[in-house]
Chains A and B, each alone.
Chain A
Amino acid sequence: MTADLIPPAFRDPVHDSQSAFRRLLKALSRPGTPVSLTGPAQPPAPMGGPLAAIALTLADADCPIWLDPALSTEPVRRYLHFHTNAPQIADPKAAAIALIGDAGRLPGLNEFHPGEAAYPDRSTTLILQLPALTGGPSVRLSGPGIETTASLAPRGLPGWFWQAWHENAARYPLGVDIFLTDDRIVIGLPRSTKVEAP
């Protein structure tokens, strides 16, 4: 394979994106539950399979995306442009979806759009790719979609993250929604989910 070739997207765009969407829906409606998500074969590094699957499933010309510096490489930009045609914009506040390859350097949740009082749906959805979704500091989650409580211990989030998430949930119904991914799993974290330390 020459360096110029853009790797393929889903093998079966209709049914693979349907399956991916149902998994995202399950993840978001049951926050904290790990949901397996298979991505397209060999997306350009550092994109993992689930991150690529989410971009291919949700992004299109009507859905501006923002890429963090780790993902701002020519192969990733060309891949996303070719397969989704989503506008790639420089202002994170104007993005419908923010793809973040290096969550440790996340600038802060306030960099993104929380929606408007009359239109809380006009917010940014963040996709955070992490080294692992277990083995980090454990937190307890509660809220819609969670029967009692759920625990979550993702590794690689910045130290300020859970405090910022607490603030994000406090301004409900405004706020950002997050999907956490590693190389095969996605976990949903809608703004309605509250966090308490263990």
Chain B
Amino acid sequence: METDLAFDDDDVYSFAYLDEMTKRMIRRAILKAVAVPGYQVPFGSREMPLPPGWGTGGLQVTASLLGRDDRLKVIDQGADDTTNAVSIRRFFAEVSGVATTERTGEATIIQTRHRIPERALTEDQIIVFQQPQPEPLRRFITEEAVARKIHAFARYGVMYVRLYEDISRLGHIAMSSDYPVVVNGRYLASPSPIPKFDNPKLHRSRALALFGAGRERRIHAIPPFTEVKSLDFADYPFTVQRFEACCSACGAQDSYLDEILLDDGGRRAFVCSDTAYCAERRGERTES
């Protein structure tokens, strides 16, 4: 059938799936996002062959960045081998033919869902976040027009009230992921649902960070060497999660850990959420 339709296997898709006009539109939005760190730039999100909420925003940002010389890594909750990561990596291998890798150090572009790799990123890397909800105020400001005004005037008291309510009710700030940050001293932004363990990695990172929200049609960015402050109070400073355990596979004490149940009796173990980091520490050769 395909030969009847004169389809050539090699050029069924545009390079990296999106058409050139869409890429140009997204590229203009990315440049604005870099110029105004933390500000959410609206863009014309396209229908992607993936349901909204599964990374269509990150997918479109990556598609607009990718070139033939790139090497792509895709992670989902730190892991290279989960469904979302595997399907997105295969998608780009299919529609662009770019090389892929699981090694953090080898990648030029890292698309991620909800983690930042443990290994420090470099100047030559770009990290692309899949972001379900880019608006940190959406938890309590449902109207876009109101949220936009709050951003315009930089009146972020309402977010501090939210944090204060946690402290008064629970004794601590109970947000363990998607912890709000102020970028470059101006815009309140959501770092995507990364654990707050990863927030310090965004502060003055050497790599450019781009955030794509497909359903919400927004792109924002944190350029390298940009001040990223996690909100806190003088008497309740921002802290990250601490683990009692270390990774049961590689013994790492500095990584973010996932808890796994081992049997019906409730035995548990902890392993690194970043599978590539764990594998490298165990000295295994990962697939590249």
- The interface of chain A, by Cβ under 8 A from chain B, is 13-15, 17-19, 21-22, 24-25, 28-30, 57-58, 60-63, 96, 117-121, 123, 125, 143-147, 172-173, 177, 190-192
Contact = CB atoms under 8 A, between A and B. Distances in A.
- Output the residue of B21, B67, B186 with the most chain A CB within 10 A: B67
A31 B34 CA distance: 11
A145 B223 contact: yes
Contacts of A172: 36, 186
B28 interface: yes
Given A18-B23, A125-B31, A172-B186, 13 more contacts: A22-B67, A29-B34, A29-B224, A57-B27, A60-B25, A61-B21, A63-B24, A118-B149, A120-B36, A121-B29, A121-B42, A144-B227, A173-B36
A82 B30 CA distance: 25
B68 interface: yes
Contact of B37 (A19, A146, A192): A192
25 contacts: A14-B20, A15-B68, A19-B67, A24-B31, A25-B65, A29-B34, A30-B123, A30-B224, A57-B27, A60-B21, A60-B24, A62-B25, A63-B24, A118-B151, A120-B36, A120-B39, A123-B32, A144-B184, A144-B225, A145-B223, A145-B225, A146-B225, A172-B186, A173-B39, A177-B31
A29 B37 CA distance: 10
Contacts, number: 107
Given A18-B67, A29-B208, A144-B225, A121 B32 contact: yes
Interface residues of B, number: 43
B221 to A, nearest CB: 8
Contacts of A58: 24, 27-28, 31
Contacts of A146: 225
A28 B31 contact: yes
Secondary structure type dominating chain A contacts: loop
B148 A118 contact: yes
B152 interface: yes
B220 to A, nearest CB: 10
Interface of B: 14-15, 20-21, 23-25, 27-37, 39, 41-42, 64-68, 123, 126, 148-149, 151-153, 184, 186-187, 208, 221, 223-227
Contacts of A96: 28
Contacts of A60: 21, 24-25
A62 B21 CA distance: 9
Contacts of A15: 15, 67-68
Contacts of B39: 120-121, 173
A117 to B, nearest CB: 4
Scoring B28, B29, B151, B186 by chain A CB atoms within 10 A of each residue's CB, the highest score goes to B28
Contacts of B37: 144, 192
Contacts of B184: 143-144, 192
A87 B152 CA distance: 30
